[in-house]
Amino acid sequence: MEEFIIFVVGALVSGFGTIIGFGGGVFMVPILIIFFGYNIEIAIGATMSALVPASIIASVFNLRDRSIDYLVGSLIQFPAVVGTVLGAFMVAFLPVTELQVIFALFVVTVGIFMVKPQQKEKHIRHSGMMYRIRRVPTSFIRKNRAKHLAYRLNGGVVGVFGFASGIIAGLFGIGGGFLQTPMMIKLFRIPPQIATSTSLFILVITSFTGFISHYLLGNVIWSRSLPLMAAFALGAIGGNMLKKRQGKMQDIEKLIGIGLLLAGLGVILNLLIKSNFGFSF
């Protein structure tokens, strides 16, 4: 009975994570630990295993849909790897616990900002710091002809924010995916459909790396991982089907806001679990 409940919960978490571009790992790990009594290392290993097929399936759908921006994904991913390593070293020198509380509150605040109704931006669309940054000489315009979309980016700024998300991931021991999606939408004005698809493409690399690491550490128990892998794969398929019906940008942004609220709660739970087990996810 417990295995069936985990399968259903895993499919729902994966479906929601696919729609908003987070993947679902930041939600699933505390669920496995708190409600199903998983050892924290095994919970992380099972979730990392499950994210691999889910992210691949989602990316195949998005590849066929032509909604992945591979350049943006690369500009974020490679600096994020360097940032993650640096963040891991910074743990020894910074008050991580206090920073984690502040970060959780920040994530919740951003989530509330994205959930609440937004005013029209017609009068401020062409002003502000980010607008000026996007138009400096090193900026360029990305076009998605299949979706009839275009947006202006600055490669250097995108790389800096990717590096920052990596530092946060390494410093706090959490995945940076739930930061990258709202970052792409709100700061760089990348259309939500492109942002969520690109974030899931990045997750293919990060989840596979995490899976290999935890497999070598002995944290992947196949009897625990395989059912969750099947659940996440099913959730990814369902999430992509529902994603196509999410036509309004505001609807996707509100779902991302809800995801951030839940992720903020996940960060707080991570802090509590880490204080008890001496391990982070």
Q: Nearest Cα to 281, choosing from 188, 268, 116?
A: 268
**What's the whole-model pTM score?**
0.82
Residue 281 has pLDDT above 70, yes or no: no
Residue 125 has pLDDT above 70, yes or no: no
Residue 117 has pLDDT above 50, yes or no: yes
Residue 5 has pLDDT above 90, yes or no: yes
> What is the structure's pLDDT at 274?
64
pLDDT class of 123 with cuts at 50, 70, 90: very low
Comparing 80-89, 218-227, 252-261, 268-277, the range with the smallest average pLDDT is 268-277
Q: What percent of the chain has pLDDT over 70?
A: 84
- Rounded Cα distance between 204 and 200, Å, is 7
**Mean pLDDT (whole number) for 44-59:** 93
pLDDT tens across 96-113, in order? 677 777 878 888 888 888
pLDDT class of 174 with cuts at 50, 70, 90: low
Q: Nearest Cα to 32, choosing from 16, 45, 43?
A: 43
> What is the structure's pLDDT at 53?
95
> What is the structure's pLDDT at 275?
67
**Mean pLDDT (whole number) for 41-64:** 92
Residue 226 has pLDDT above 90, yes or no: yes
Residue 278 has pLDDT above 70, yes or no: no
Query: Do residues 28 and 266 make contact, with C-beta atoms less than 8 angstroms apart?
Result: no
Cα–Cα–Cα angle for 160, 81, 266, rounded to 5 degrees:
90
Q: What is the mean pLDDT of the chain?
A: 83
DSSP β-bridge partners for residue 140: 153
Distance between start and end Cα atoms, the chain:
27
Q: Is 101 exposed, middle or buried (0-12, 13-18, 19+ CB in 10 A)?
A: middle
> What is the structure's pLDDT at 124?
46
Please give the torsion angle defined by the CA atoms of residues 116, 120, 121 and 123, in that order, rounded to the nearest 10 degrees. Answer: -140
> What is the structure's pLDDT at 97?
73
